[in-house]
Chain A
C-alpha cells in the first residue's frame, strides 16, 4: 500500500528535520516494512515556471515556432511544436539538464542544448505527459503543451514547488501488515507514527449527520454474522464534478485516478480511514429498501468494472427489492453506479465478515482495495466515522446537496476489548530487559490502549481498531511494547544450557555417509529434482498412475503427480545431459511418496496415517563406451554396502516393472528384506525416453537399509602364515554365474581363503554360448606354513570340481 507523507501530516505534526528516509526506517523497524520511498518532486528538477515572451515562426519548419521564454531572470530561445503555445502563456519550462519523457514514454532523457532544423534551442516547453503529470493535467491534443496561465504561481519558481508536488510516497509491503487492519488507511498509520515520535495524534474530525425526511431508507441485514454493520444515508442535490485539487493530488499520490467528486470521496475515505465505502445512484434503486443477503446459487452479477460473475450462496450481495446492486465488500454493480447526471446518491458504509469476503474475492479472482481491507477484519466502528466524514465532504463540495433520508444503522456486532492483565514481571521476563511501569503505560497509551494500573500489573483495554483479531493475549501486548521501545534496544544475551550432546539422527548420518562415498569414491554427481512427475513419464516407464498421489492444484499442469521413485526424473536428466556429454553419473537422495503404505500419524487426535514417505537413494549411469553399465552401478552398491557394514546379496527375481531390462536386474537383499535393486533400463523404454545409450540404475530405500547398517566392519586377525596363490582359467557355459562358481570353489577345502575373478570374456574363439573366466585363488593354512605340494593337491581337487559341476574346460 502507498502512504503519502503529505497525507500523514494532516494528522500528526512531525519535526521538519525528519527526513523521509529516517521515517521509513523507523516504521520498518517498529511497525511494517517500507519497501520503497518515492520523492515525487525529484523528477521535476530543472523544470521551472516559465513565461513565453515572444513567438516567431521557425524559418525552416511549418509546425515549429521559435519562442523566447523567461525564467524571471534570463530569456532563453526555445524551439517549440506546441499547438496551443501563445505569447504571455505560463508554461512548464524544462531547462538544460531537466529529465523528460520523450512523447510521454520510455525512460527519462536529459535535455541538452540542441539545434532543431538549424535553430538553437536551450531547453523545452513541456507537455504534461512529458514530465509525468499526464494524470493531473490530461492532454486534449497530442501536441498540446501544459498551460499554467490560470494558476497563481511565480515565474521562475521550481515547478514541483509551484504545483505543490513535493510529496514523498512510502510503499509499504502488504504482506507485513496482514494482521493490522488499522494500518490500511493514513489515519491509522499516522497513529503509529505519532507513537513512534512521541507526538500527538490529531482527532479524526467528523460532524453529526442531520437526517432528512424526504426518503425513508430501510435496510435489512439477513445475517449479521456476514455483515455485522450496515449504514446508509441518501443525499440529494449532488452535482457530479471533478473533486477539488487537494483531494485529487492526494489520490494521485497513492496511485488512484481521480474520477469525480463522489467516487473520489469514497476512495479518499478508503485510504484515509481504511474503510471501504460505496455510493449508489438512487435512481437505480427500486424503492427505498436495501437488503444484505447471501447470493442465490447461480445468481449472475456484473460489477462496475464490467466483470461478469456467477455467484453462489457463499457470497454476499447488496440488493434492492428486485435485484443485486453490489457485490458486498468487493465492488459495486454496473447497474447502479454514479454517473455524470446523478443527483441523488445513497452512501453505503458497512462492515463485512473477513473470511466470507476473502473466499469470494479469491474465488472470483476479484481482489479489490475494498476486499483487501475487509479480509483483515475491520473495526465496525469505522463504518460510522467514515459515513460522517463522507457526508461532511459531500456537503462541502456540493453546495446544493442535502441529506434527504434517515441514517440507517443495522446489524449487530461486539468486540472483545478486554481488559487484558499484563503483569510487568511477565513483560520484562519475555523481553530480557527491565522496563518501568511508567514507560510501558506511556507506550501503550500512545497506541490508544486504555490502562488501569494495579500494583505489579496493568489492566489493558484494547482499542476497537485493534480488537477485531489482532490483540487478545498478554503476549500480543509484549509485542506492542517492545516494537515501540525498539527491538534493537534489547540487550543481546546467550541462554545457559547444559552441555549434553544432541542425540544423533541415524537416517541423516546414513544419508551423509552414502552421499560422501558415492560422490568421492565413485565420481557420481548429486542432483536435485522436483518431487512431481508427469503422467507421460509415468506411462512411458510403465508405472501405474493409480499408485501415485495427485496434487489438487499443480502449478505445472503437466506434472500433477507426486513421485513414487526418483528414477523417472533422473532419467529425464540423463536424456537432457547425454546431448552434451558422453559419460554421465548422477545420483539423488530424496523422499518418495507411497500411497499404499502407511507412515506417521496425520494428526494428534486422529488415527489417520499419512502415506509412507521413505528416503530413497538412486543412481543412474550411462556412457558411450559402456554397453553393460550394470557393472558400474553394481560396483557402487558393493562398495557402498561394504563400507556400511551391510551383509547383503544380489538376487535374481521375476520382475513386474516394464522399464527394467529383464536380463539385467537384481534385487538387493539384506536379511530377508529387499532394500533396493540394481538394473539396466529396458532398451525399449530407453528409446522411448530419447536416451541414446544403455543406462545402469540403482535404487536403495535408506529407511529400510538403516536396520542393517553396522558401525564397524568384521575384522579378522592378521594371518601368521604366508599364503600361496594359484590362478585357474576355464571355459564354461554362459549361463553359469560367477556367484555359483565362487560358492562352489569356496567349499572345496578350508584352505581356500579367497576366490577372486580377474578376467572374463566371450568371443567366437571360445564358442557359442560360452565364456572364459579366470580366477585368482588364495590358499592359506591358519596353523602352519603351507607346503607347495599340499596346495597342488587341493588345487587339483578344485579343478576337478569345476569340470564336474560346471562342465568347465580348464586351460592347462
Chain B
C-alpha cells in the first residue's frame, strides 16, 4: 500500500511536470481522480477493505498523499491560469475614452434652488425653522405691518405690482411680509427663516429682474443687541461662503428696523497680481422696529428682535459670474444643464 501511494505521488508529480496546458491538466486529473477509475480514487476505495490498525495507518497516509496531490494540482492550475490571463490586457482591451452609448442624460437642479438649499441648510443648523408664505399678499403684510405707511416711497407703483380690482393686494416686493405673519403664528421666542420669490416692477435688463429671490431670517428673543446681530450674520456668511469673512456695517434705511444697516463683505476679484478687494453689500439688517413687534402681537418692552435679508440672485450671479440675470428665468436648457 505504502509503495503504491509513493508511486502515485511520484507519477503525479512527474505527470504534472509534463503538463503544458489546461487540457493536459484535466487529463491528468482524470487519470488520478476520476470517480470511476482514478488511480487515487481506487486507492481510497481499497481502504474500505482494510480493517483495524492497518485501516487507520494507511487511511492517514492516503489522506496525506491525497492532500499533497491536490496541493500540487492547484499550484499548477494557478500557474497555468496566470499564463493564460497574461494576454488579457491586449486581447480584451477596450477604448476607455469612448462614452457609454446611448448617452445617459443627467438632470440638473436650478442654480437658485441649489443656493436656496445651501442657505436654508445653514439656517437650520443654526436653529432657524424655514417657513414659506403667500407670494400674492395683502398690502398690510407687505407694508403697513412693517411700519411702511401709505404713501411711503417704497409703495410706489413703479416698484410694486398691484392686483387689478384689489387695490389692497400686491405681488410681494420682499419676503419680509412673513415677519409679522410668523410672529402672529408662533409668538416669541422665535427663530425663523423665510426665503422666497419676490417681485418688483422694474424693466428687465442684464442686471435687473422683476422676479428675484430673497432669503430673510428673524430672531425674536430677550436682550438682543446689535453686537449679536453682527455676530449671527457673520457666522451665517462664514457657513455659506465656507471661509472666514471680513464684514463691516454701515447705515441702511429700512422702515421695519431701527437701527438699520447694510452689511458689507470683503470680496476679492481676480487672481494674483490683478486681484482687487472690494466691499460688497450682501445683507440688509437691523433691530426689528418696535412698531413691527407690536403688529406681531408682542410687547416691544419685553421682546427684542433682529432681522436680516440677503439676495440669492446676487449670490448666484457672483458665484458663477453670470453675465445676464435674465438667464435665471430664461428656461434655456443649455444654460440650465451647466449647474
Chain A residues proximal to chain B, CB less than 8 Å: 28-33, 176-179, 354-355, 358-359, 362, 375, 429-433, 473, 475-476, 478-479, 482-483, 487-488, 490-495, 497, 499-505, 507-508, 512, 515, 518-520, 522-531, 549-556, 562, 569-570, 572-573, 576-577, 580-581, 583-586, 590-591, 593, 599-600, 602-604, 608, 610-611, 613
Contact = CB atoms under 8 A, between A and B. Distances in A.
A176 B252 contact: yes
Given A358-B151, A483-B251, A553-B157, A432 B228 contact: yes
A28 B332 CA distance: 40
A179 B253 contact: yes
B104 interface: yes
B156 interface: yes
Given A362-B156, A525-B333, A530 B227 contact: no
Contact of A502 (B108, B127, B163, B210): B127
B151 A355 contact: yes
Contacts of A178: 153, 253
A585 B224 contact: no
B201 A555 contact: yes
B220 to A, nearest CB: 12
Range, interface on chain B: 35 or more
B251 A30 contact: yes
Most buried by A among B107, B171, B249: B107
Q: Kindly list the 3 A-B residue pairs having the minimum CB-CB distance in the complex, ordered from nearest.
A: A432-B227, A432-B225, A479-B259
Contacts of A362: 156-158
Contact of A519 (B108, B117, B145, B197): B108
B250 A487 contact: yes
B131 interface: yes
Most buried by B among A552, A573, A583, A600: A552
B270 interface: no
Interface in B133-161: 133-138, 140-141, 145, 151, 153, 156-158, 161
A500 B189 CA distance: 12
Interface string B216-257: 000101011111101110110000000000001111110100
B250 A429 contact: no
B78 to A, nearest CB: 36
Interface of B: 104-110, 112-113, 117, 120, 124, 127-138, 140-141, 145, 151, 153, 156-158, 161-169, 171, 180, 184, 191, 197, 199, 201-204, 210-211, 219, 221, 223-228, 230-232, 234-235, 248-253, 255, 258-262, 287, 289-290, 295, 304, 328-329, 331-334, 336-337
B21 to A, nearest CB: 40
A424 B228 CA distance: 19
A566 to B, nearest CB: 11
B258 A479 contact: yes
A583 B251 CA distance: 51
Given A577-B331, A577-B332, A599 B161 contact: no
Contacts of A505: 129-132
Given A431-B226, A487-B226, A478 B231 contact: no
Contacts of A487: 226, 248-251, 261
A528 B329 CA distance: 5
B286 to A, nearest CB: 9
Contact of B184 (A520, A530, A604): A604
B226 A482 contact: yes
A583 B105 contact: yes
Contacts of B289: 475
A683 B107 CA distance: 26
A359 B158 CA distance: 12
Contacts of B130: 502, 505, 508
B227 A551 contact: no
Contacts of A478: 258-259
Contacts of B140: 602-604
Given A492-B227, A497-B221, 14 more contacts: A30-B251, A176-B251, A432-B225, A473-B258, A493-B227, A495-B232, A503-B129, A515-B113, A526-B336, A531-B199, A573-B331, A577-B331, A603-B138, A610-B169
Nearest to B184: A604
A545 to B, nearest CB: 12
Contacts of A591: 135, 197
A715 B248 CA distance: 55
B171 A531 contact: yes
6 contacts: A362-B157, A432-B225, A432-B227, A492-B227, A502-B191, A526-B110
Contacts of A524: 107
A495 B153 CA distance: 35
Contact of A602 (B127, B169, B290, B304): B169
Given A176-B252, A176-B253, A552 B164 contact: yes
